[in-house]
Structure 1
Amino acid sequence: MLNEFVRKGSFFEIISFPAKTALTSIMYASYAALIYLTVCVNAVLEKVMRIFQDEESIRQNREESENLRKAFKAFSEPVLSEPLFPEGEVKAKPYRSLQEKLENISDRPKLPANKLSNKIQVLHSVFDQSTEMNE
């Protein structure tokens, strides 16, 4: 009986050795496939992360350029604020027409005839007379 047990054990070991080899090769192949799959997924995830980072940087650059554009627009266009003084305090002088000015000029002394020949001298003398009268 011992001899039969040894033979059965040896026979079992002979039959199971190719099965163990096949099982081991299947396990190694599955490990290799898992490693390859992991590397591929990692590469795809890196590309996706780069795309998201690029989109985020583009979005930030667009927001910064819009903010700069708004800031430049705010500085380039003057902001109209309300006047610092109330309208009741502003008093405008009445507009003098040309006829009133001519009447005021007629009261002033006339220019000599020799100075009337040169128009530049006439203008200078008129300004001199108006300055003397204001003083």
Structure 2
Amino acid sequence: MKKDEVPQDLSSLGKITKELCYATDSSGKYVAALSSGWDVKITALDVAWGDIEKRIAAAKQKVLNKEASQLLFFMEYRLMDISILAGYTGFWKWQIKRHLKPEAFDKLSIQKLEKYAEAFNIKVEDLKSMTIHED
């Protein structure tokens, strides 16, 4: 692809960052060029984020239905799985699986809730109420 043909289709990420691509200049040499996005990639990212939003909504509904604790919601929201959350908190995976149950979560000490809140970069009150504050 020639340098002047590098796609510049604006996406939501294009406002934040640009992607480094390699293209050929007028003499046929490879040079670095910045792209703000291209349609195919934008569509793929939009589909992926749509799936993530559905998972977050499903997790929230499970919490409201008392099928899971607030941890599930924040794990989906922060794109974490049990292994990642275990790494951030120091809890064993089996402990986190147990804490995903509402009845176990409701009995957690303030120290354990603080570890979870710190891992999700929120306050304990927000963890309990599933409140998100976008910065």
TM-score interval (norm. to shorter)? under 0.3
Which has the larger helix fraction?
A: 1
Higher relative contact order (CA 8 A, sep 6+): 2
Which has the larger strand fraction?
A: 2
TM-score (ref. length: structure 2):
0.26
